[in-house]
Amino acid sequence: MDFLDLIYHGSEERFLEYKSSMSWNDIETKMIVVKACMALANIPDGGILIFGVDEISKGVYEANGMKEEDVDSFNQDNVSDYVNGFADPYVELKLNKVTDDAKKFIVIQIQEFDELPIVCKKDGEKICRGDIYTRPKRKNESVPVPSQNEIREILDLAIDKQMRKIHRNLDRWGFIPNQKYQQSSAQKFDEQLGGL
């Protein structure tokens, strides 16, 4: 994945959220990351949260980079531990520090949920226990599920994942015959007749 293309993309997308330079030491930053990670994990293919990109006018973004001390305040373990203190089940994320010339950025990759949708398991600043966060198709923002369309999409993802898991288990247990070894009824009949 080319992070620089995403950093300089210039507009947010459903899977791509930008933030200005912020310090991980601030509670506001932590809550932004928690909400964004839970929301991005609940959309198909997950998404990316990038720090160091400023909104210069409504919907127009410029990659200006982060302050050195803000970049230094982020690390993988602290971010992952904090996010997963709120997320149930676990959010899989990877923190990357990216440099382009003298500009530095934090790029957090968030994986789509593994089996079950991510639910907020405790209250925090501007997040509520029991909420399911997402990024709606109609507006690029991380919010509690706003309509039946988004919850249906999340449920469909979870159902598809469970069906694939059931299919894999049935195959592993021998309940689903291997397709390449299956014979048609006519082939089996011919084989039984032995060329008669």
pLDDT at 53 over 60: yes
176 - beta bridge partners? none
Helix (H) or strand (E) holding 150: helix 148-172
In this prediction, residue 164 carries a pLDDT of 84
Taking only the tens place, the pLDDT of each residue in 79-129 is 999 999 999 999 999 999 999 999 999 999 999 999 999 999 999 999 999
Predicted TM-score (pTM) of the model is: 0.83
Count the Cβ atoms, other than its own, within 10 Å of residue 39.
Answer: 25
In this prediction, residue 179 carries a pLDDT of 55
